Amino acid sequence: MNKSLRIVFFGTPEFATGVLDTLNKSHHTIVAVVTAPDKPAGRGRKINQSDVKKYAVENELPVLQPTNLKSEDFLKELASYNADLQVIVAFRMLPQAVWKMPELGTFNLHASLLPQYRGAAPINWAIINQEKKTGVTTFFIDEKIDTGAIIANQETNIAPLEDVGSLYGRLMAMGASLSLETVNNIAAGTITTTIQKDSQDLKDAPKLNNSNTLIDFKQPASTVDALIRGLYPYPVAKATLINKEAMVVKIHKSTVIEKDHKMTPGSFVIEEGKMVIACGKYMIEIDEIQIPNKKRMKVKDLLNGYTFDPDARFDVA
């Protein structure tokens, strides 16, 4: 067995807890955990802790929640843990004073096959863009985002109708395994690195927002369905429904209907408890939908108490 390393772990969402748990249960020592500050969330503005903080508290690990990663107080406290190595999973960009601190460096786990899909939402965009494969990568941090020297990666196929929920869980398990392997190899002094090569065909994974999560029904049905799957179960694809007045609805589940039509994209028909929307090519059936002030439900259940105007349609970009 290689030597035990002292590790400071940086992370915030659920995805990071899989790595933290695996490292914490290994022969290495998590000396501290750095995560986002608590913040109010939801209608009641209840103070919400990150998934990583919840795990750290439950496992009695010291927690740091800096608002300023460059502050002298934080840097002094971080240095006091005398870490050999820092591991980053789904955290914000680090200043050089932080990532250069430990003797053995700082590495990041990213949920894509770098250099493809650098950015905040790599799992979502791999499905949205109908990729056939993706994976996880460990790399040493440098001055830019997701550009450092690659240590190791592991790939997996994306199933034809896969959504983020299933891919997320698989990549979390793969990422935990690869991160421990990377730590072990760093401890043993056996790693080699590969410089990332840039090219013109690189795809980014920008942060999801109200604009890039909105469905455009002028696109082919397969593209619309990929967007819906790529945003499920979070943050969920949206569409603007014109039913006497405009409203933003959430579309959770869909099925491609390979049927030619002469309808205007965004127009729809309701037959036998089904809602089928015309796309730029073919049609798409909406299986689960959520309209404002109502819970998510199957379309057939919505139709039991909700009526559509004869001129109702979905807006297109």
Q: Is 220 annotated as a binding residue?
A: no
**pLDDT tens digits along 117-143:** 999 999 999 999 999 999 999 999 988
**Mean pLDDT, rounded, for 243-270:** 96
Asked if the structure places residue 297 within a domain, the reply is: yes
Q: Please tell me whether residues 63 and 163 are part of one structural domain.
A: yes
202 is in an annotated binding site: no
Q: How far apart are CA 132 and CA 156, in angstroms?
A: 9
pLDDT above 80: residue 50? yes
Give dist(CA 191, CA 193) in Å, integer: 7
162 and 251 part of one domain:
no
For 143, counting Cβ atoms within 10 Å of its Cβ (0-12 exposed, 13-18 middle, 19+ buried), the class is exposed
Together in a domain, 85 and 183: yes
Nearest residue to 137 via CA among 107, 96, 170, 159: 107
Range of the domain at 293: 221-314
> 193 lies in a domain?
no
**Is pLDDT of 267 > 90?**
yes
CA distance 31 to 4: 12
CATH number, position 160: 3.40.50.170
Residues 30 and 147 in one domain: yes
Q: Are residues 47 and 177 in the same domain?
A: yes
| One domain, residues 29 and 128 | yes
pLDDT-derived band at 58, boundaries 50, 70, 90 = very high
Indicate if the pLDDT at residue 289 is higher than 90: yes
Is residue 213 domain-resident?
A: no
Same domain, 136 and 85: yes
Nearest partner of 288 among 298, 275, 273, 280, judged by Cα: 298
Q: Whole-prediction pTM value?
A: 0.94
Same domain, 154 and 275: no
Number of domains observed in the structure of the chain? 2
The pLDDT, as a whole number, for residue 40 is 80
Tell me, yes or no, whether 137 and 95 share the same domain: yes
Whether the per-residue pLDDT at 302 is higher than 70: the answer is: yes
Domain presence at residue 201: no
**Does residue 46 carry a pLDDT above 90?**
no
**pLDDT of res. 295:** 93
- Of 188, 205, 229, the residue at which a domain comes to its end is 188
Q: Is the pLDDT of residue 45 over 80?
A: no
Residue range 195-218: average pLDDT?
A: 93
Q: What CATH number does the domain containing 236 carry?
A: 3.10.25.10
208 assigned to some structural domain: no
Mean local confidence (pLDDT), 305-311 = 89
CB-neighbour burial class of residue 193 (10 A; exposed 0-12, middle 13-18, buried 19+): middle
Q: Is residue 200 part of a domain?
A: no
Is 114 annotated to bind a ligand? Reply is yes
* Same-domain status, 85 and 164: yes
22: pLDDT confidence band, cut at 50, 70 and 90? very high
pLDDT > 80? residue 44: no
254 located within any domain: yes
Phi, psi of 287 (to 5 degrees): -90, -40
- Per-residue model confidence as pLDDT tens digits over 89-116: 999 999 999 999 999 999 999 999 999 9
Confidence of residue 47 (pLDDT cuts 50, 70, 90): confident
pLDDT at res. 154:
98
Predicted confidence (pLDDT) at residue 194 exceeds the cutoff of 90: yes
Of 164, 188, 212, the position where a domain reaches its end is: 188
The pLDDT value given to residue 143: 87
Q: Does one domain contain both 33 and 147?
A: yes
Confidence of residue 13 (pLDDT cuts 50, 70, 90): very high
CA 185 to chain centre: 27
- Is 67 a domain residue? yes
Dihedral pair phi/psi, residue 107, rounded to 5°: -120, 155
Domain boundary at 132, 163, 188, which?
188
Distance CA 284, CA 278 (A): 7
Q: Give the residue, 315 or 42, on which the prediction is more confident.
A: 315
pLDDT at site 116: 96
Q: Judge whether residue 43 has pLDDT over 70.
A: no
Q: Indicate whether 241 pLDDT > 90.
A: yes
Provide the mean pLDDT of the chain.
95
- On whether both 172 and 257 belong to a single domain, the answer is no
